[in-house]
Amino acid sequence: MSKMSMKRLSLLLLLQLTCYFSSGSCGKVLVWPVEFSHWLNIKTILEELVTRGHEVTVLISSASTIPNSSKPSTMKFETFPVSLTKTDYENFIERLLEEWTYVSKDSFWSYLSTVRSLFWEFFDTTLSICKDAVSNKKLMTKLQESRFDILIADAVGPCGELLAELLKIPFVYSHYTSPGHIIEKNSGRLPLPPSYVPVMLSELSDRMTFMERIKNMFYTLYFELFFPTYKEKKWNQFYSEVLGRPTTLSETMGKADVWLIRSYWDLSFPRPQLPNVEFVGGLHCKPAKPLPKEMEEFVQSSGENGIVVFSLGSMVSNMSEDRAKVIASAFAQIPQKEMEEFVQSSGENGIVVFSLGSMVSNVSEDRAKVIASAFAQIPQKVLWRYDGKKPDTLGPNTRLYKWLPQNDLLGHPKTKAFITHGGSNGVYEAIYHGIPMVGTPLFADQADNIARMKSKGTAVRLDLETMSTRDLLNALKEVINNPSYKENVMRLSAIQHDQPMKPLDRAVFWIEFVMRHKGAKHLRPAIHDLTWFQYHSLDVIGFLLACVATAIFVITKCCLFCCLKFAKLGKKRKRD
């Protein structure tokens, strides 16, 4: 046995012992993750579970892009073979996201149709992976024999709920949102009145004008009528076959004991919730660690002006092991001395951090020039996550990095602004540390996240593809110099920090609760046992209306009959 695995084994053994001798509530956790930023978030929960002595096994396909470098050695990874290769899967996801980024939002119908077809493609691939897992007898026997206590799944990548049903164990979802809230609405049965709950992808706020409420109603109707069937037929058929009884994907997903929603009332607008839904947004946020020496000195050199962080998300670090290695080595090569002097040189001005993450490779040379010349005109130092060709217009106050320690930079006292693509993880880090944002959303929920931040007065929104140097300059000046942005984001930061219990602790509490009690049935609303027309009381209303109609009919008939009788009587008397 290697030194590494010996070390790992003894650590695991120690944690297990700690668990059994203290809380006595240790369990075996099976995880069905979704990749990319979803994995980054769920990993925080899993690491905490391991720290508390639970045994965590993550089930991944052989095509999984979760890089080895981000796999904590304290967890087990159970890999099952799939027909897809890692490169195929990576290219497939990259294509989907690129299509989503560049689809025009000008036409409501074509935009949503594109999003729908992208989702269908993603769900088709997920279904094929799911089939590979469930039909793998060796894997299923191993899982059965492992006697897990709970399964943790991500609601946007189905299959976890099927495995939980097959293994007869309770399950908990980690979930942020879905287009039009279809998942949380159809499976979680969350009430989302369109009058004050903006539909995901509509980019609206909770305080809507009449015209905005009409727009929100259109989105609601679209998702109600055209989206929910996202290849559900295939799924329903597969789930029914495997479980040996007629069922649906929605119904199976609705069996989740607890939904851990990666949002809170600082990022989200207040809306109705259900007892089995816990809002644990920002659970991955933590205080900043000291920056690498070179970077810290660059940051310090900014003086009073502070820094700006520019990042388009961390997806690249999840994209593949190779990419992660490239980035890690890129960061290791940061010339410590040079950066140190650069940061120190900013004096009183402070720094700016700019990162568009993995999607930066989508920024054309022309865009990079526009961005660089805006940066050159601000007194702050700028840290820009970028691995393209160095733009000619790059000012001496701007440094390019292939990787940025985003959370640590955002938590740095010198940081004045964060230019971000609006991924929920990054936005939460900015909220946590109280940093105003310039948002340049690319795809998925990013535009909605930035719309929320804009409506809460903590961000300015720009379009990365069409913005001019002046636009970016004005946006940066606005969020840095107009004190209202800092005040508003500090207010959100206070809300995020001032909770009865930390979101990570709440998430872990409910996972442990479900293990302790083999579910959380007391939190499950009876709505799950109702059909949609029963839920809306349509059968009751119909019955009552039918009663009223019958009563009116009978009364009218009686009246008519009496009138007729009297008329006849009158005639008869007249004749007599």
Residues at the site binding a second copy, with contacts judged by CB under 8 A: 191, 193-196, 206-207, 210, 213-214, 217, 265-266, 269-276, 279, 492, 494-495, 498, 500-501, 505-506, 509-510, 513, 516-517, 522-527, 529-530, 534-537, 539-541, 543-544
**Closer of 103 and 523 to a second copy (Cβ):** 523
Q: Identify the three-state secondary structure at position 433.
A: helix
Cβ of residue 236: shortest distance to a second copy, in angstroms? 24
**Closer of 348 and 539 to a second copy (Cβ):** 539
**Closer of 140 and 217 to a second copy (Cβ):** 217
**Closer of 167 and 492 to a second copy (Cβ):** 492
**Closer of 77 and 513 to a second copy (Cβ):** 513
Measured CA distances, 226 to 117, 219, 507, 550 (Å):
11, 10, 33, 37
Cβ of residue 527: shortest distance to a second copy, in angstroms? 5
How far is the C-alpha of 308 from the C-alpha of 385, rounded, in Å? 11
- DSSP-assigned states of every residue in 224-259: HHTSTTTTHHHHHHHHHHHHTS---HHHHHTT-SEE
Residue 288 carries which DSSP code? P
**Closer of 23 and 83 to a second copy (Cβ):** 23
Cβ of residue 317: shortest distance to a second copy, in angstroms? 32
How far is the C-alpha of 266 from the C-alpha of 508, rounded, in Å? 21
Cβ of residue 186: shortest distance to a second copy, in angstroms? 16
How far is the C-alpha of 440 from the C-alpha of 461, rounded, in Å? 6
Cβ of residue 249: shortest distance to a second copy, in angstroms? 22
How far is the C-alpha of 223 from the C-alpha of 113, rounded, in Å? 10
How far is the C-alpha of 192 from the C-alpha of 264, rounded, in Å? 16
**Closer of 478 and 505 to a second copy (Cβ):** 505
**Closer of 537 and 556 to a second copy (Cβ):** 537
How far is the C-alpha of 251 from the C-alpha of 254, rounded, in Å? 5
**Closer of 207 and 568 to a second copy (Cβ):** 207
Residue 460 carries which DSSP code? E
Residues 6+ away with beta carbon under 8 Å from 7: none
Residues 6+ away with beta carbon under 8 Å from 486: 434, 436
How far is the C-alpha of 218 from the C-alpha of 204, rounded, in Å? 12
Cβ of residue 270: shortest distance to a second copy, in angstroms? 4
**Pairing verdict, β 306-311 and 415-420:** parallel
Cβ of residue 431: shortest distance to a second copy, in angstroms? 12
Cβ of residue 261: shortest distance to a second copy, in angstroms? 12
* Enclosing H/E stretch for 351: strand 350-355
Q: Identify the three-state secondary structure at position 107.
A: coil
Structure-token pair, residue 64: 């999984």
Cβ of residue 415: shortest distance to a second copy, in angstroms? 24
| Spatial contact of 292 and 334, defined as CB atoms under 8 Å apart | yes
**Closer of 471 and 505 to a second copy (Cβ):** 505
**Closer of 16 and 273 to a second copy (Cβ):** 273
Cβ of residue 218: shortest distance to a second copy, in angstroms? 9
| Spatial contact of 134 and 166, defined as CB atoms under 8 Å apart | yes
Q: Output phi, psi for 55, to 5 deg.
A: -95, 115
**Closer of 221 and 555 to a second copy (Cβ):** 221
Amino acid occupying residue 332: A
232 CB-contact burial (10 Å; exposed 0-12 / middle 13-18 / buried 19+): middle
Q: Output phi, psi for 280, to 5 deg.
A: -120, 35
Amino acid occupying residue 81: P
Which residues make beta-bridge pairs with 419? Answer: 310, 438
Cβ of residue 552: shortest distance to a second copy, in angstroms? 18
How far is the C-alpha of 478 from the C-alpha of 452, rounded, in Å? 18
Cβ of residue 474: shortest distance to a second copy, in angstroms? 29
277 CB-contact burial (10 Å; exposed 0-12 / middle 13-18 / buried 19+): buried
Cβ of residue 185: shortest distance to a second copy, in angstroms? 13
- CA-closest candidate to residue 225, choices 387, 116, 122: 116
Structure-token pair, residue 39: 């994995």
* Enclosing H/E stretch for 173: strand 171-175
Cβ of residue 489: shortest distance to a second copy, in angstroms? 13
**Closer of 322 and 487 to a second copy (Cβ):** 487
**Closer of 415 and 496 to a second copy (Cβ):** 496
